[in-house]
Structure 1
Amino acid sequence: MKLLKYFVIFLTINLSALAIGSWLMDNGPQSNWYTTLNKAPWTPPGWFFGVAWTTIMICFSVYMAYLYKRVSTIYILSLFAVQSFLNVIWNYIFFAQHLVLVGLITLIALTLVIVSFTLIYKKDMRLKTLLIIPYLIWICVATSLNGYILLNN
C-alpha cells in the first residue's frame, strides 16, 4: 500500500510539472517563432511529445516510488525537486523567452540529474533502473533537438 501511495504522489507531482511546463510555454510549439525554425530532421511529430512525456512520467513515477520506499532520503527528494524544476523551467526558457542557449544548458543540467539518478541508485534499484531509461533516452533526444536549433538558426 505504501508503494501505491508513493506512486500516486510522484505521479501527481510529475503530471503537474508537465501541466505547468505546458502552460509556461505559452503555445510555443504552434508559435510563429518555433514553426519557422530550422529543426532537426529527427524531430518527432507534435503529437509524439505528449505521448512520450506521459509514458516517461508514469515510468519515472514508478521508479521514484520504488526508490523512495527503498532509500528514503532528503537527497533523493532534493534531486527530484531539481529534476522537476529544470523540466518545468525549460519550457519557459525555450518557448516563451526564445533563449535557445540557456535552454540547452538547462537540458544538459537535467540530463546530468537523470544520469545521477541512474548511476547513484543502480545498485539499489537493480532491474527497476530500466524504468528511468526512457527518460534518459528522451532527454538526450531533446538535448540534441535543442542543440540542432541552436547551431542551425
Structure 2
Amino acid sequence: MKFKPIALIVNIAIALGIGALGGWATAQSVKTWYPTLHKPSFNPPNWLFAPVWTTLYILIGIAAYLVWMKRDKIEHLPRTIAIYFIQLILNLAWSFIFFYLHEIGFALFEIIILLMIIIANAITFYKIEKWAGILFIPYILWVSFASFLTYNIFILN
C-alpha cells in the first residue's frame, strides 16, 4: 500500500471539519449555559475537551484513510461509507442537541445511539484493516465516558 499524503490530509480534514462545526455549536453555551448546570465531581475541566476531541478526530481521519486505501477490496463499500458518515453526523448532532438546543435528555438518548454506531464503525473498519478498527478504541472509550457524563448531568439537572 503506497502512502497517499493528500488522501490522508483529506480524511483528517473531513473529521476535523465535523469537529469544528461541533465546536461552533458548543462555543457560546460553554461560556453561558453550561456553567449553570449541576455537574458530577468527575466532570473534566473545560480546557481538556478541545485537545481530546482534536486527537480523536485525527485518529478517526487516519482510520478512514486506512480503509480508503483498501476501498477497491471492500465488498460492501457503500455500507462502509454510510456507517462512517452516519457516525460523524451523529457526533456532530450531539453537540447541537446538547449545547445549542440545551436538550440534555434527548442528547443522552442520541449519544447512546452514537456509541452503538461508533462500535459498529470500529468493527466494520477492523474487518477491513485491523489498525483502522484499533484507532477507534480511544473514541469508543471517550464517548462511553461522555455518555456516562451526559447521564449524570441529566440526572443532576
Residue 90 of structure 2: aligned partner: 86
Partners of 2:17 and 2:154 in 1: CA distance: 28
For 1:85 and 1:127, the matched residues in 2 are separated by 23
Question: Across the two proteins, how many residue pairs are aligned to each other?
Answer: 152
TM-score (norm 2): 0.88
Give the partner amino acid of 2:17: S
Q: CA deviation at 1:127?
A: 4.1
In structure 1, what is the equivalent of residue 57 of structure 2? 57
Greater Cα offset, 53-62 or 1-10: 1-10
2:129 aligned with 1:125: yes
Write out the 4+ residue segments of structure 1 that deviate beyond 4 Å after TM superposition: none
* TM-score, normalization by structure 1: 0.90
Superposed CA RMSD = 1.7
Is contact 1:11-1:61 (8 Å) kept? Answer: yes
CA distance in 1, matches of 2:36, 2:99: 13
Letter in 2 for 1:38: H
1:113 aligns with 2:117: yes
1:36 aligns to what? 36
Query: Structure 1: 5+ residue runs without aligned partners?
Result: none
Aligned partner of 2:138 among 124, 134, 138: 134
How far did residue 128 of structure 1 move?
4.2
| Gaps in structure 2 of 5+ consecutive residues | none
